[in-house]
Amino acid sequence: MAAKKSASKKSASKKSSPKRGDDGRYPETKILSALFDVKDGWKLAVAKKHGAYKNLEKALKSMSPAEVIDEVKTSRVRGRGGAGFPTGVKWSFVPTETDKPKYLVLNADESEPGTFKDRWLMELDPHLVLEGCLLCAYATGVSTIYIYVRGEYPLSQERLWGAIHEARKAGLLGDKIMGTDFSCEAYVHTGAGAYICGEETGMLESLEGKRGHPRIKPPFPAVEGAFGCPTVINNVETLAHVPSIIEHGGQWFADMGIAPDPDNPRALGSSGTKLMGLSGDIKTPGCWEFEFGITVRELIEQYGGGALEGRTIKAVIPGGLSMPVLTADELDVPMGFDALVKVGSGLGTGTAIVMDDACDMVEACENIAHFFADESCGQCTPCREGCHWMEKIFTRIKAGDGTPADLDLLERLFINIEGRTICALADAAVWPLRSILRKFRHEFLAKMPGHTDPHEKDPHAEDPKASSEPAAVGAN
């Protein structure tokens, strides 16, 4: 027991983020993206030349399912779909002894605004995605894989179906894969373009042919998921990491990126690499792969080319749309799970949305509230009514008809929406809106006629990094 403890301390203290170059540039590390620039890398013949399926063969012929799970646990890889749950731990929740069939549902819905990393993987290296799925299926005893791809991604669907047909023909999918006892089938299921179908249980309902209404948890999908059977649900990028973890070992992956904080049991670290993206008011939007450690500012300046001509950056939402905003002064923070939480935001999907000084924050809030109001599935009153109500208030403020009382009303709405619903869509609406309102309050006040001092200090703005409920408003 004691030996185990000191071993984990040792790996926890290891720090191996790649060195910046002489010019200060943070380097790319191409593991997931190794085939992105290779011509026809999505075809089996080309992918195989670059090692596709050799790690599946290694696992099937020399490792037990439990050993595969152990490697993934050792790697400390965390889910790349937004919540950052440890993948190996999730897999170990799937019951081994059960009479029911087990399923893997790959979350390829990629419905988060500003997020396009999974699309790149599916379009440019679909065999890596399929190999990751097969490794997960082998480890967890799954014989049917459903890949749930959003309707707006026709090329992803085409490339994945192409990969499935090619793999089946080559004996890499179907009955007795590579001559072993492992048999598994894969199918692409197309969504109809609803944000809520990216939420894992909404996705299961949709897969079963019903409305994408999230389910109350527990039971969790690992125990009762698709068709009432044990189901693993993972994001595309998460499973695309598994082949290289099997190739080099979990410790190799764990030694990359940002180590866990031994003094904080909740800071599980950010191991490995991550596809990170940029969109919005930026010179060169795009997607790159880095070992965790690059800061938000480095990503924007070194890879995004900085602000548009004549503009300055005002705010950044680091992880899709659903995370609290960072101001221009807060960008020297690593793009990592724990580091971003520490400054009151979150990694989310790791694809940042940049806003410059031409962006009207009231309009931005109206736009964000409209998105969530439109995408709410309507099951929970705080979400169904609250998102529309917030949108109406932002529209009113934008039109010049708002008063400072509207800002208090919004704070009360945030409290009555966050954490009070079946799924996290409602929280995802509150986080960016509340942080924008607190950090850019002067822009809201400036639109209120008769308000003489738009920069007046406000009690809600005292701790702009706080994301928890404001006690003063809660007491009202």
Ligand X SMILES: Cc1cc2nc3c(=O)[nH]c(=O)nc-3n(C[C@H](O)[C@H](O)[C@H](O)COP(=O)(O)O)c2cc1C
List residues near ligand SF4 by CB under 6 A: 196, 214, 376-380, 383-384, 421-423, 425-426
Instruction: Decide which of ligand SF4, ligand X, none touches 232; Cβ closer than 5 to 8 Å per partner kind.
Output: none
Taking the C-alpha atoms of residue 476 and residue 469, their distance in angstroms, rounded to an integer, is 12
* Distance in Å, CB of 5 to ligand X, minimum: 27
* Distance in Å, CB of 111 to ligand SF4, minimum: 12
Nearer to ligand SF4, 202 or 402 (CB): 202
Report which of 180, 175, 233 is spatially closest to residue 205, judged by C-alpha positions.
233
* Distance in Å, CB of 54 to ligand X, minimum: 23
Nearer to ligand X, 431 or 440 (CB): 431
Report which of 389, 459, 462, 453 is spatially closest to residue 445, judged by C-alpha positions.
453
* Distance in Å, CB of 99 to ligand SF4, minimum: 31
* Distance in Å, CB of 92 to ligand SF4, minimum: 27
- Structural element, H or E, at residue 273: strand 273-280
* Distance in Å, CB of 110 to ligand X, minimum: 5
Nearer to ligand SF4, 406 or 427 (CB): 427
Nearer to ligand SF4, 378 or 474 (CB): 378
Instruction: Decide which of ligand SF4, ligand X, none touches 383; Cβ closer than 5 to 8 Å per partner kind.
Output: ligand SF4
* Distance in Å, CB of 196 to ligand SF4, minimum: 5
CA 50, 51, 56: angle at the middle one, nearest 5? Answer: 155
CA distances, 67 to each of 70, 90, 228 (Å): 5, 15, 27
Instruction: Decide which of ligand X, ligand SF4, none touches 293; Cβ closer than 5 to 8 Å per partner kind.
Output: none
Instruction: Decide which of ligand X, ligand SF4, none touches 109; Cβ closer than 5 to 8 Å per partner kind.
Output: ligand X
Taking the C-alpha atoms of residue 386 and residue 366, their distance in angstroms, rounded to an integer, is 13
Residues at the site binding ligand X, with contacts judged by CB under 6 A: 79-83, 85, 107, 109-112, 195-196, 198-200, 233-235, 238, 423-425, 428
Nearer to ligand X, 112 or 281 (CB): 112
Nearer to ligand X, 17 or 231 (CB): 231
* Distance in Å, CB of 451 to ligand X, minimum: 35
Question: Cα(first)–Cα(last) distance of the chain, in Å?
Answer: 51
Burial class (CB in 10 A: 0-12, 13-18, 19+), 399: exposed
Instruction: Decide which of ligand SF4, ligand X, none touches 380; Cβ closer than 5 to 8 Å per partner kind.
Output: ligand SF4
Nearer to ligand SF4, 355 or 373 (CB): 373
Nearer to ligand SF4, 119 or 215 (CB): 215
* Beta bridge partners of residue 278, listed in sequence order: 286, 352
Nearer to ligand X, 152 or 247 (CB): 152
Instruction: Decide which of ligand X, ligand SF4, none touches 379; Cβ closer than 5 to 8 Å per partner kind.
Output: ligand SF4
* Distance in Å, CB of 237 to ligand SF4, minimum: 23
Taking the C-alpha atoms of residue 296 and residue 330, their distance in angstroms, rounded to an integer, is 9
Residues constituting the chain: 476
SS (H, E, C) 307-364: CCCCCCEEEEECCCCCCCCEEHHHCCCECCHHHHHHCCCCCCCCEEEEEECCCCHHHH
Cα dihedral sign for 444, 450, 453, 458? negative
Angle between helices 404-417 and 381-398 (to 10 degrees): 160
Residue with the two structure tokens 């749309």: 321
